[in-house]
Structures are given as C-alpha cells and as structure tokens.
C-alpha cells in the first residue's frame, strides 16, 4: 500500500494520478489529506482517503496504518516545516511504514538556498530514523513562473533580480511521475536523486518562452536586489515576503538552481518537458 501526503495539493494530486495511470490499484493508494472532503473525487475512484494533518500529529498514525511506502510531500508552511515533517516521520515509524520517500530541495545538504535548511534538517532526521528512505531533491517547478508570465501579457516584461542566473526547472507533472516511479519500486531505497529539467534557462530565455506562448514580445527587466525590494514593497508585500523573494532571486543569481542532472529524465524514461511546452500547458 502506498500513501501520499498532501494528496489534494498541486504535487500530491499529480502523484496519485500518476500512480493510478501506472496501474497501481486504487484500493492500494492512500490519499493522506488535511481535509478529506477535498478528496471526494479520489474517494469516488476507489482511493482510500484518510485525514492526515501535519499540524495535528494525532491524525497521522491511523492515516499510515497498513502503509508500506509513504511519500512525504514537504510542507509549504515556512517556519513550521521541520516539526511537521518530524511528526510525519515519527508516525510513519510507529505505524510500521517500510520506506519514506521525501521531496527535498536541490543539493539540500550543501546549498545556500534560503529554503535548504528545513530540507537538510528533515533529511538528517530521516537518516537517523532507521527507516528506509528515498530522497527526491526537486529543482524548481516551472509553474512557479506562471504569475510573472501572466503579468507579462499586459506589461510585456518580466522583472527580476536574478542577473544571468539559470534555473533547471521542469513542470510538476514530471516530478510527480518520477515520484510514482520511485514509490512502486523498492530498489530505489537508499537513493538520493537530484531531479532537474534537462535544460537550465536564463530569464532572457524565460521572457522569450513567455513571448512565444503569449504571442507578444516579452523582455526581461533586470533590476538590482535593492530595486527589486522597492518594487515588491510598492505592490504592498510585507517586509518578510519581500526579503524572501529577493533572497530567492539572489540564490538563482548565485547558481543554486542551475545544476542539470540526468536523474529526472532517467526515472521518466524520456526527456523532461521543455519550458515553452510546460508554460503552454499550464496557462
């Protein structure tokens, strides 16, 4: 039996869909979700829907009962990730789960990426848990750029402070399919995969791709971190959010998301989905 946490989220739902498409019987798939009502469509297809709230550890043990392999989709709650992940890992161990697959960040153990410390701490806790594990270090989702691309439809530009930094992104569907591949095959136990798109692109290339998809000219407007912060503050974003976004752009500028590996395409058995195709499918 395979359980997927966050199964009504963007990535988790795609993993469940991929498992079903690959022939995993619905009654062998557990959609572990915070709000079961949001998974009614999955339940109607025979998927086992169980409440599993990262912030309510008492819900987790029952959710993982009888589960052989668990996908822990990392929490989106910055500042709460590590205790939430620890609660899931402890519950998985108590429930007798055989293997935990975790969606981490690129080079989480060495990266200066602003998001990396929570993932590094989770990986370390998993290593100490005694559980069999598979670590999926996912690069950026191409969908992370949907908002600036959509805004470029009117403005004709994409503003960022990434300089010439590159991003080796792929769409969520590629990462989800790779997770499904790993979940159904225990030979992936003990492995750490650095998952990226086959091509790392610059923001000039992002602007060109956006222009192709939108059918209009789009340019990349380069700004300094200070100028970027001022623009974001002018949009009404709070200081913490401004600092976070600017720090992420700094990470990209420093090359933290530029590493291309063949791990994702190897797991998929095909090339990863290109930037233009991914944007077109998502818009």
Residue given tokens 């789009």 in the structure block: 218
> What pLDDT does 79 receive?
79
Q: Is residue 208 scored above 90 in pLDDT?
A: yes
Q: Is residue 29 scored above 90 in pLDDT?
A: yes
pLDDT digits (tens, 9 = 90+) for 6-21: 999 999 999 999 999 9
DSSP 216: S
Mean pLDDT of the chain: 96
Q: Which of 10, 34, 11, 8 is nearest to 183 (CA)?
A: 11
Q: Which of 62, 176, 67, 52 is nearest to 131 (CA)?
A: 67
Residue given tokens 């990349």 in the structure block: 220
> What pLDDT does 258 receive?
98
Integer Cα distance of 132 and 113 in angstroms: 26
Q: Is residue 78 scored above 90 in pLDDT?
A: no
Q: Confirm if 248 and 178 have CB atoms less than 8 A apart.
A: no
Q: What percent of the chain has pLDDT over 70?
A: 100
> What pLDDT does 274 receive?
97
Question: Three-class SS of residue 3?
Answer: strand
> What pLDDT does 77 receive?
86
> What pLDDT does 261 receive?
98
pLDDT digits (tens, 9 = 90+) for 124-167: 999 999 999 999 999 999 999 999 999 999 999 999 999 999 99
Integer Cα distance of 142 and 72 in angstroms: 21
Mean pLDDT value across residues 64-80 = 93
Tell me the C-alpha to C-alpha distance, in Å, between residue 274 and each of 70, 198, 201: 29, 8, 10
DSSP 75: P
Q: Nearest 5°: CA angle at 49, between 45 and 53? A: 150
Number of other CB atoms surrounding residue 64 within 10 Å: 24
> What pLDDT does 25 receive?
98
């Amino acid at each position: 039996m395979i359980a997927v946490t966050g199964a009504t989220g963007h990535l988790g739902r795609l993993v469940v869909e991929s498992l079903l498409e690959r022939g995993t019987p619905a009654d062998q798939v557990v959609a572990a979700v915070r709000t079961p009502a949001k998974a009614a469509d999955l339940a109607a297809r025979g998927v086992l829907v169980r409440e599993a709230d990262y912030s309510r550890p008492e819900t987790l043990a029952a959710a993982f009962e009888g589960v052989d392999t668990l996908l822990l989709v990392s929490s989106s709650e910055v500042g709460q990730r590590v205790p939430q992940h620890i609660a899931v890992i402890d519950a998985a161990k108590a429930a007798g789960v055989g293997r935990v697959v975790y969606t981490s960040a690129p080079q989480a153990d060495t990266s200066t990426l602003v998001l990396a410390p929570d993932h590094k701490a989770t990986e370390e806790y998993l290593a100490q848990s005694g559980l069999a594990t598979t670590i999926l270090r996912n690069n950026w989702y191409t969908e992370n750029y949907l908002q600036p691309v959509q805004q470029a439809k009117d403005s004709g530009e994409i503003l960022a402070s990434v300089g010439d930094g590159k991003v080796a992104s792929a769409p969520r569907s590629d990462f989800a399919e790779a997770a499904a591949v790993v979940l159904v095959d225990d030979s992936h136990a003990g492995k750490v995969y650095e998952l990226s798109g086959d091509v790392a692109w610059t923001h000039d290339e992002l602007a060109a791709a956006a222009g192709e998809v939108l059918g209009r000219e789009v340019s990349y407007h380069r700004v300094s971190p200070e100028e970027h912060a001022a623009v974001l503050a002018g949009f009404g974003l709070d200081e913490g959010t401004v600092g976070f976004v600017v720090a992420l752009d700094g990470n990209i500028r420093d090359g933290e998301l530029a590493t291309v590996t063949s791990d994702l395409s190897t797991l998929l058995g095909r090339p990863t989905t290109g930037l233009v195709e991914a944007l077109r499918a998502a818009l």
